[in-house]
Amino acid sequence: MLIGIEASRANRPHKTGVEWYAYHLIQHLKRLPEAAAHSWLLYGNTPLTHGLEKGPSHWHERRLAWPPKYLWTQLRLSLEMFRRSPDVLFVPAHVLPRIIPKRTVVTIHDIGFHRFPQLYKPRQVAIHEVTTRDIVKRASRILTVSAFSKQELIEGYAADPDKIFVTHLGVDHDRFYPIEQEEARTYLGRWQIEAPFFLYIGRLERKKNVTTLIEAFHQFKSSRSGDETQLVLVGIPGGGYEEIERAIERSGFADSIHILGYATENEKRALLSSATALVHPAWYEGFGITPLEAMACGCPVICSRAGSLPEVEGIENALWFQPGDAEAIARNMDHVIKDTLLGIHLRERGLAWAKQYRWEKTAEETLRLLTEW
């Protein structure tokens, strides 16, 4: 069987959630002995890099040049499907080409744009609504990343539950594990950050609810005279970033809030291994990989009780709050700072829980859904 994978997202140099999903899935599919029974094509709009270009002899690159900035998937990949269609096409992101093979599998990670349209640009909502309805109508199989997201697709789009399959994401345990403080300090020193600090990792945008976290940090600091705890925000700016900047200016503790920008996986490991806790304040999540990566590094998690997060992170493995409740976030910060035994308990629970999430398992489940018809 010839299986084609849309690999343009996986090939992006600066990856976030969907891009890392595509990258890890491709790399772990290459390692499966069962995958050697098939031929594989990786479709991209630029030369494959960062290991994607390497693989067994039955894996091949198909570069599809497309000078325009947009519509590569909808137009250029469609042309390739018209000319030389594989037996199965797998698209690990949220859009289908206009022309597809009879057997087409696509991943929908969540429908946050549908549940919280006010957190997105109107153009984004319109595009995602069109592409989601198109996927529900035309895809042979839909993969999604949690039981929560499957139910969302059924309720939000009347999708056929028999063609939706849940494949949980994995944690890259080769990258995310606890490291000694001496090693971590080689990274923290470049930012002049010292413990104790709370950590946020994700896009700095409105839909991630960062402003509520900043308000919570203000309440936490205001209740502790002379406290030296810092708040570290890791991520690139997104929609509504100016609101985050204004919230920091108003907080009264701007000197204790650090924006680091994009961080490599090694830098994130160092931060997670050193943080007092990761705070994940999202309004909505289809999965929630960052809290799991924190757990894998031995970092306590303070987590929003939103979307799939209780399902994926495990209710006993974190401290929880409603996403709009800054006061509850501040209380949880205070609990972790004051209660050493609580921090130890959360570290131990999190380390054990994160072990079940493996990219090898995700790849095995995905391979079956790509090849067994």
Is residue 67 scored above 90 in pLDDT?
no
> Rounded mean pLDDT of 51-60?
94
Question: CB–CB of 329/302 below 8 Å?
Answer: yes
Quick one: pLDDT at residue 174?
93
Buried b (16+ CB within 10 A) or exposed e, 32-46: eeebeebbbbbbbbe
CA end-to-end span of the chain, whole Å? 11
Residue type, 273: S
What is the band of 301 on the pLDDT scale with cuts at 50, 70, 90? very high
Quick one: pLDDT at residue 38?
97
Name the H helices within the chain: 17-31, 78-83, 112-115, 122-138, 147-157, 181-191, 210-222, 241-251, 265-274, 289-296, 309-313, 326-338, 340-354, 359-371
What is the band of 123 on the pLDDT scale with cuts at 50, 70, 90? very high
Is residue 271 scored above 90 in pLDDT?
yes
Cα–Cα distance list, 247 to 212, 234, 252 (Å): 9, 16, 9
Question: CB–CB of 252/279 below 8 Å?
Answer: no
What is the pairing mode between strands 164-166 and 301-304? unpaired
What is the band of 142 on the pLDDT scale with cuts at 50, 70, 90? very high
> Rounded mean pLDDT of 325-334?
97
Quick one: pLDDT at residue 13?
84
Q: How far apart are CA 220 and CA 283, in angstroms?
A: 21
Is residue 294 scored above 90 in pLDDT?
yes
What is the band of 192 on the pLDDT scale with cuts at 50, 70, 90? confident
What would the pLDDT profile of 92-120 be if each residue is shown by its tens digit?
Answer: 988 999 999 999 999 999 999 999 999 89
Quick one: pLDDT at residue 15?
82
Is residue 190 scored above 90 in pLDDT?
no
Is residue 70 scored above 90 in pLDDT?
no
> Rounded mean pLDDT of 243-249?
94
Quick one: pLDDT at residue 187?
83
Q: How far apart are CA 146 and CA 313, in angstroms?
A: 11
Whole-number percent of the chain with pLDDT over 90 = 85
Question: CB–CB of 144/362 below 8 Å?
Answer: no
Q: Please give the biggest Cα pair distance in the chain.
A: 69
> Rounded mean pLDDT of 19-46?
96
Q: Which among 262, 212, 258 is positioned nearest to 236, based on CA atoms? A: 262
Q: Which two tokens stand for residue 330?
A: 């501040």
Is residue 17 scored above 90 in pLDDT?
no
Q: Which domains does the chain have, with CATH numbers?
A: 2-170+359-371 (3.40.50.2000), 181-354 (3.40.50.2000)
Give CB contacts under 8 A, 24+ apart, made by 316-322. Answer: 316/349, 317/346, 317/349, 317/350, 317/353, 318/291, 318/346, 318/350, 319/277, 319/346, 321/281
Quick one: pLDDT at residue 193?
87
Whole-number percent of the chain with pLDDT over 70 = 100
What would the pLDDT profile of 342-371 be if each residue is shown by its tens digit?
Answer: 999 999 999 999 999 999 999 999 999 999
Residue type, 303: C
Is residue 218 scored above 90 in pLDDT?
yes
> Rounded mean pLDDT of 178-206?
89
Question: CB–CB of 18/92 below 8 Å?
Answer: yes
Residue type, 125: V
